[in-house]
Structure 1
């Protein structure tokens, strides 16, 4: 169907006045715009009447080939569906909140002895996530408070499972040492529950509960427990006294929007339980929309569609459908959520602070964007490209003396890094330390999928390495028939200093642009990100390999036997130094199990669980010795 052939007025005649969601679709079947309506017929008809419309709306209508609608039971359902469709379809003419997985959270893991720690990225670890927080500093302050008040562990599982004595955190009163059994499971679980109440902003409920527990402890003459509970109540009350806002502990977000043309910044100032969590700036994609009220409304709907809303949201201006959004957020959060735009007193001061920070952040972002554009233009000119590179990819290889080789691929576009499209490749089947073969495998795997699935390929491909790595990348792409990709190697210069890099160009030339070159600065930014991403993946893979042969993986070793072994030998090092006979003297460990433990810790072939134990020669010191 031709876009010009779409008859909007005829389409409107078939619509009902029920609430729902409408979608404008282009000739290429891509969704151009998603909108909600309390009455579909009335809202859609407004696009096709004689009222003057903005240039953005006129351009959108000119490209519309057809429309689709989905009827809902209520306006609230329409709002929820609209947000879901905007997130999944990413329509060209909607205001879009950029997908950012870097929000910091406080994570409380779901395991026998939960740990509490900062978390960034996809929420793949089972547990409860509190946040997101406006800054890493706010998360660290919160964690510091949790460790002081509730003494929850922060160590990784690999450390926790192999402790034989309490660590320094226990000595300074920040951990109850569950790793060595110095706290009962029931008591630790109660601390976890209470920490969750405080993180949820329910400090009044927590102090009431602690007060009753303190009285009960006193009644049964358990004065030590009563004193400990008293100190906890005092600490929380002191925290509340310092952090009151407008006479009560605040649970609110303050939002302000600043716009310059169609560039927008939404500044979030967050408080939870009276604690100031700092500020965070967001830069939604407006797609030509220069109306700050609509931008802010879209932000509120999309952001709180993903995050649990606080009890109060203060805005620097009124927004369309404010009452409807308020109802939807209240239903989703299962508590009353108020959206306010006319406030006084301290909240007005916070709004002023948010406005000024939004304007400053937007100015800084526009300056940064201009600098990024200048670097991209310099790169285009240096490489003789016909247009600015719309997609840049960079590959790097990381390993430790050939162990756990990982290849990384990072992606940049005109806006900067596109983290959702980063990829890592675990390299296997090559000689350890063969970077050339690793690069060939990584490039072959990346572009084979693009060829088979008709996927996207970059305009510019950067290879972190010299002529050998570049040759391998070029050979892999040639074998797959990939064309039209400019391939550039980024090699360290003779001095191996930043700014001294040599660029290996497709025509065989070698360039050294120098540290002042904007083009090289962009290449360095992409290359450094690939290097960071590769090292992170390599370390994770290497640590996983280190942990794979620990005590808990040996058949017949459970938590009790593991704890007995570590306690008997003073840690994993002492256990590794022991012989089979010494290990078998530990309560609950027979000769066959002792031999399996010894073999596993020394990288030997462990006997089957049902096989009889074999004699192991004694060492001069009473232990055992393996021959070279």
Structure 2
């Protein structure tokens, strides 16, 4: 389809809320999006130059546009979510989620069973969860079993079958874990009261169960049935202990959904906490793969819609870190302080931990994806034009100007490449001049790479502030690389990053992986430089005493030390031993020198 046809389609779009769909030449769906104003939103794709390469690629592929008008922006958000899940367009956010989390099920049947399951079947049963681990559900089931006597068999306990005596009580009845509804030994109404109590416990409302058990305990004690009263007392203690271990916030926070998001260059992570009577009764995090540089607001709105649909949440209140569109019958609050802000911060912390766990798993399972994500993140954080796959870092080492040396360490794909490390003896600088030394080594390093036609790094780091950075920039200017080779300086005190021409430094979040990689580079350059400096200083210190003997040079001093291993042994050596190493004349000089000192 010609571009003129697309222009006509765009110009005739309604100025109403709705959902638009882009298709390619083979009628494959490329993208689904929502808009308050369809015409204005779709036009924006074709009327400007896009910074994002992905958006530019997608726009070139568009050959047809379809749209659906809805009543409100919220309806558009719901429809967009459903169409994305149905068609999974190439350029839309991709929801990545483990669908096998454990749930607690209250089965839709006569004398309902309560059990753990990983399959949600829409048969009228109630499902609570998902829970972060099987252990959590088993702990909850253990609590329920300790408090209430429920059946575990899978018999169809219809009135007709029970009346006909189809079933007999099993071992669970004789052990006291079940009251035998299969033989009509338990009243259905009484059983359903237990199920209602369990339902409240799972929802975080323990007050009713505690009150009922206390009333029951007092009644048994009044009847002098102390043994039974003691059993109920133990149940109260179990329930109170469980309540103490639950994550409890302000009890006034009830029937609230909390959402937060953390994101990086490629993914967004949306966490969901459901609060009931001050307790967290549900926690879940989904991973969303970005396709078109979506904002946190766009990702969070999509995540909220997906999660509330999936868990059939009807909570009338939502807490979020910033304002979002979430529905007409839902109040959205972005708290700034107090208990409400604390619970949003807790949700954010859960999202961060989930992200960290995914990174750890990614390093093991898919190291290439981890590297790609890290490089993309560094490119964004450091404001670079390309990913810093090859980074070099320089550090000077000298003590009061003695034996000045420098080190260059190399990282490739975020990891040390030790075979590419280089050491430099400072040649053109007299005395302790860090700035001139930095200019010399940066110049020598990249002059050699240019002469040998070796690839240049995507980023150069110098250890130091503005002074060292300006020296590095001068070296690059002399080579004609200014502006072609990105260079930054890192100051030790506050981990400030300096850029050429910028008056103010850049401060990265102390926990970012980008800063950690830069710190690792700086520390490795310092370690490598110090080791080289110490070795040189040690060698020079040992050789100095022998070289101070008139007529003895560096070569002779090295030969003596290689043979005798120390200065003290040279001093004690006989003339014959010395002659065997350095000859008659030099042996005589050394022997006489030390004899004169005796």
2:293 maps to: 289
Asked if residue 246 in structure 1 is aligned to residue 249 in structure 2, the reply is yes
Deviations 1:572-599 (A, max 9, x none): xxxxxxxxxxxxxxxxxxxxxxxxxxxx
> Against the structure 1 CA distance between its residues 201 and 351, is the aligned structure 2 distance closer, same or farther, given a 3 Å change threshold?
closer
Deviations 1:257-282 (A, max 9, x none): 44443144445566555555686553
1:619 maps to: none
2:151 maps to: 153
1:176 maps to: 179
Q: Is the 8 A contact 1:135 1:278 kept in 2?
A: no
Q: Is the 8 A contact 1:33 1:93 kept in 2?
A: yes
1:422 maps to: none
Match of 1:364 among 350, 360, 363: 360
State the Cα distance separating 1:117 from its structure 2 match.
0.5
SS in 2 for 1:245: coil
State the Cα distance separating 1:42 from its structure 2 match.
2.5
CA distance in 2, matches of 1:356, 1:123: 31
> Against the structure 1 CA distance between its residues 79 and 103, is the aligned structure 2 distance closer, same or farther, given a 3 Å change threshold?
same
Match of 2:121 among 120, 123, 126: 123
> Against the structure 1 CA distance between its residues 97 and 223, is the aligned structure 2 distance closer, same or farther, given a 3 Å change threshold?
farther
Asked if residue 167 in structure 1 is aligned to residue 165 in structure 2, the reply is no
Write out aligned runs for 1:74-473 (5 A). 74-98=72-96, 100-123=98-121, 126-157=124-155, 164-168=168-172, 171=175, 174-203=177-206, 210=212, 239-240=242-243, 243=246, 245-248=248-251, 255-268=259-272, 273-276=277-280, 281-289=285-293, 291-309=295-313, 313-315=318-320, 317-318=321-322, 322=324, 324-325=325-326, 327=327, 331=329, 336=330, 338=332, 340=334, 342-344=336-338, 346-347=342-343, 350-351=346-347, 353-371=349-367
SS in 2 for 1:248: coil
> Against the structure 1 CA distance between its residues 40 and 113, is the aligned structure 2 distance closer, same or farther, given a 3 Å change threshold?
same
Q: Is the 8 A contact 2:92 2:292 kept in 1?
A: no
Q: Is the 8 A contact 1:105 1:130 kept in 2?
A: yes
State the Cα distance separating 1:5 from its structure 2 match.
5.3
Which runs of 5 or more residues in structure 2 are unaligned?
A: 371-598
Q: Is the 8 A contact 1:25 1:64 kept in 2?
A: yes
Deviations 1:401-456 (A, max 9, x none): xxxxxxxxxxxxxxxxxxxxxxxxxxxxxxxxxxxxxxxxxxxxxxxxxxxxxxxx
- TM-score, normalised on structure 1? 0.48
CA distance in 1, matches of 2:368, 2:120: 27
State the Cα distance separating 1:256 from its structure 2 match.
4.8
State the Cα distance separating 1:73 from its structure 2 match.
1.5
CA distance in 2, matches of 1:295, 1:23: 18
> Against the structure 1 CA distance between its residues 178 and 356, is the aligned structure 2 distance closer, same or farther, given a 3 Å change threshold?
same
Deviations 1:466-499 (A, max 9, x none): xxxxxxxxxxxxxxxxxxxxxxxxxxxxxxxxxx
- TM-score, normalised on structure 2? 0.50
> Against the structure 1 CA distance between its residues 348 and 98, is the aligned structure 2 distance closer, same or farther, given a 3 Å change threshold?
closer
> Against the structure 1 CA distance between its residues 140 and 11, is the aligned structure 2 distance closer, same or farther, given a 3 Å change threshold?
same
Deviations 1:25-65 (A, max 9, x none): 22222221111122222322222333644222222211111
Deviations 1:264-310 (A, max 9, x none): 44455665555556865533232353644433332222222211335
CA distance in 2, matches of 1:170, 1:79: 55
CA distance in 1, matches of 2:174, 2:16: 62
Deviations 1:94-138 (A, max 9, x none): 112136431221111112221110111241555221222232222
Write out aligned runs for 1:564-575 (5 A). none
CA distance in 2, matches of 1:153, 1:247: 36
CA distance in 2, matches of 1:45, 1:71: 16
2:6 maps to: 7
Q: Is the 8 A contact 1:108 1:117 kept in 2?
A: yes
> Against the structure 1 CA distance between its residues 312 and 170, is the aligned structure 2 distance closer, same or farther, given a 3 Å change threshold?
farther
Deviates more, 1:339-348 or 1:13-22: 339-348
Q: Is the 8 A contact 1:20 1:78 kept in 2?
A: yes
> Against the structure 1 CA distance between its residues 222 and 37, is the aligned structure 2 distance closer, same or farther, given a 3 Å change threshold?
farther
CA distance in 2, matches of 1:12, 1:373: 38
> Against the structure 1 CA distance between its residues 77 and 290, is the aligned structure 2 distance closer, same or farther, given a 3 Å change threshold?
closer
CA distance in 2, matches of 1:303, 1:112: 30
SS in 1 for 2:196: helix
Q: Is the 8 A contact 2:217 2:232 kept in 1?
A: no
Deviations 1:361-408 (A, max 9, x none): 23224313425989xxxxxxxxxxxxxxxxxxxxxxxxxxxxxxxxxx
| Root-mean-square deviation (Å) | 4.3
> Against the structure 1 CA distance between its residues 254 and 186, is the aligned structure 2 distance closer, same or farther, given a 3 Å change threshold?
closer
